[in-house]
């Protein structure tokens, strides 16, 4: 892909690489703060597809942050359920 700025990193929330990069540069934020500011990793999958990329971006942009210092909470669903099941309409 020639234009990595338009590359969608978080498919669930449609967050692009450029949005993540500019937010991280502007605020010098942790992975958790980047997640809260952009909603990346807060979609249906719970960060299973974009979490690794978020961690790598923070490591590259803020070299003094160690990988263990990136407390990005990862909470996958136990099992996917339909809204009908949650609402009681089976």
What is the C-alpha to C-alpha distance for residues 54 and 46, in angstroms, rounded to an integer?
13
CATH number of the structural domain 4-87: 1.10.10.1100
Q: pLDDT tens per residue, the chain (90 residues)? A: 458 778 898 888 999 999 988 998 888 777 778 888 999 888 888 788 888 887 787 778 777 766 555 555 556 556 677 777 777 665
Residue extents of the structural domains in the chain:
4-87
Q: What is the pTM of this model?
A: 0.65
């Amino acid at each position: 892909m020639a234009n990595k700025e338009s590359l969608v990193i978080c498919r669930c929330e449609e967050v692009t690489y450029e949005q993540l990069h500019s937010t991280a540069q502007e605020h010098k934020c942790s992975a958790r703060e980047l997640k809260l500011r952009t909603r990346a990793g807060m979609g249906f999958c719970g960060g299973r597809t974009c979490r690794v990329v978020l961690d790598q971006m923070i490591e590259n942009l803020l070299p003094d942050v160690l990988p263990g210092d990136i407390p990005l909470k990862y909470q996958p669903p136990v099992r996917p359920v339909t809204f009908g099941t949650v609402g009681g309409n089976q």
